[in-house]
């Protein structure tokens, strides 16, 4: 059973990962050579230059943002700082939330809902269920991993308001918002709203690791004080800033995303018994009437050009009848579609 995407061996065309293919190996080589000297010196402990750059773009006070060695680093440090006794996860969702909170003695509860329902109905279901639970923290991913579901601004505002009444927090993970330029839900006046963001997805640098968290001044200051020195990679800090300043990359990513999202949705929808769920980011969740993700993966990996997709049986509220597919280059997307078409043909799908 897969626990995270990106767990296949080298040589496998990996559709379980959700990173930006517009950031190419050649682009990365150029940036690493440009900043090679950063590997010879100690990095800035706080990543001040990159922090200031992000805060300037988002109009956020630097005292309300902390950088981390990936968003997961920020998540675990936040859990260690606040140590909530109870938390509710809106599932299916990313497994690390539960792990990070449980590590510090938090009782973590699952809230599942009909994610195939309309947005208004789904959000009403969640709010209704939360009335029956009092938790110190509610966690949601927006857009959600693995469904790609995006929540409304009014829903998040209501969630924050409800939690504030019982002096509880709302943690929103916005790591996949950039592909459709979804506006951040961060608001400095909401002391109980914490926003988590990964930069490794959109900027295609999962091996370098960079992310950030925004929240109230007290939380962020405590997290900064408890941060181990030199956890931020000097190459990650400089390469990320260059990528964020690259307007051509943003334009290329938008063109690629808009084109490939249409292609992959249409091609997958032609497969009999496969339902493609609406997604607002760079992956799609699919439900299959007859086939299982584990069986499809076994077959894909056994082909002359092996490839893999994300099985979803380990996500709360999902089963092995669901698969998640990350968008890649058009050439690679075509290869996967051709293989899936062949699998359906051989199995009378």
Residues of each domain in the chain carrying CATH 3.90.1150.10: 13-18+248-346
| Collapsed DSSP state (helix, strand, coil) of residue 59 | coil
Please say whether the beta carbons of 193 and 185 come within 8 A.
Answer: yes
* Predicted local confidence at residue 193, as pLDDT: 98
pLDDT at 121 over 50: yes
pLDDT at 166 over 60: yes
Please say whether the beta carbons of 235 and 208 come within 8 A.
Answer: yes
Residues of each domain in the chain carrying CATH 3.40.640.10: 37-244
Please give the backbone phi and psi of residue 286, each rounded to the nearest 5 degrees, phi first.
Answer: -125, 140
CB within 8 Å of 214: residues ≥ 6 apart:
60, 64, 65, 186, 194, 195, 197, 220
Model confidence pLDDT, tens digit, residues 6-38: 667 789 999 999 999 999 999 999 999 999 999
Q: From the options 3.40.640.10, 3.40.50.2300, 3.30.413.10, 1.20.20.10, give the CATH code of 37-244.
A: 3.40.640.10
Domain 13-18+248-346: assigned CATH number = 3.90.1150.10
Model confidence pLDDT, tens digit, residues 284-326: 999 999 999 999 999 999 999 999 999 999 999 999 999 999 9
| CB-count burial class (<10 Å; 0-12, 13-18, 19+) for 313 | middle
Q: CA-CA distances (angstroms) from residue 112 to 7, 24, 33, 128, 293? A: 26, 38, 47, 12, 21
Q: Which of 286, 263, 282 is nearest to 344 (CA)?
A: 286
Angle separating helix axes 247-269 and 330-346, nearest 10 degrees = 10
What is the value of pTM for the model shown?
Answer: 0.95
pLDDT at 3 over 60: no
DSSP 180: G
Look at the block and give the residue holding tokens 């938090």: 106
* Predicted local confidence at residue 304, as pLDDT: 95
Model confidence pLDDT, tens digit, residues 193-249: 999 999 999 999 999 999 999 999 999 999 999 888 888 999 999 999 999 999 999
């Amino acid at each position: 059973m897969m626990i995270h995407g990106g767990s296949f061996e080298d040589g496998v065309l990996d559709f379980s990962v959700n990173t930006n293919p517009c950031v190419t190996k050649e682009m990365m080589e150029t940036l690493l050579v440009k900043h090679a000297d950063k590997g010879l010196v100690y990095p800035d402990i706080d990543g001040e230059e990159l922090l200031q750059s992000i805060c300037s773009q988002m109009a956020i006070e630097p005292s309300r943002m902390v950088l981390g060695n990936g968003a997961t680093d920020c998540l675990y440090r936040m859990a260690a700082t606040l140590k909530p006794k109870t938390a509710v996860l809106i599932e299916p969702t990313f497994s690390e939330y539960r792990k990070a909170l449980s590590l510090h003695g938090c009782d973590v509860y699952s809230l599942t809902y009909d994610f195939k329902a309309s947005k208004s109905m789904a959000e009403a279901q969640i709010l209704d269920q939360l009335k029956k639970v009092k938790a110190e923290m509610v966690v949601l991913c927006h857009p959600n991993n693995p469904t790609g579901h995006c929540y409304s601004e009014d829903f998040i505002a209501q969630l924050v308001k409800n939690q504030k009444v019982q002096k509880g927090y709302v943690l929103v993970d916005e790591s996949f918002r950039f592909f459709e330029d979804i506006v951040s839900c961060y608001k400095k006046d909401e002391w109980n709203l914490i926003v988590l963001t990964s930069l490794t997805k959109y900027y295609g640098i999962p091996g370098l690791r960079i992310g950030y968290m925004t929240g109230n001044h007290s939380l962020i200051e405590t997290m900064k004080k408890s941060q181990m020195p030199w956890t931020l990679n000097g190459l990650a800090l400089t390469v990320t800033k260059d990528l964020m300043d690259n307007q051509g990359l943003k334009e290329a990513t938008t063109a690629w995303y808009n084109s490939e999202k249409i292609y992959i949705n249409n091609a997958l929808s032609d497969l009999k018994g496969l339902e493609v769920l609406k997604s607002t980011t760079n992956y799609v969740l699919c439900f299959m009437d007859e086939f299982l993700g584990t069986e499809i993966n076994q077959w894909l990996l056994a082909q002359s050009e092996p490839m893999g997709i994300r099985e979803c049986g380990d996500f709360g509220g999902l089963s092995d009848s669901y698969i998640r597919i990350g968008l890649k280059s058009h050439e690679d997307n075509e290869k996967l579609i051709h293989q899936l078409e062949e699998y359906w043909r051989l199995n009378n799908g």
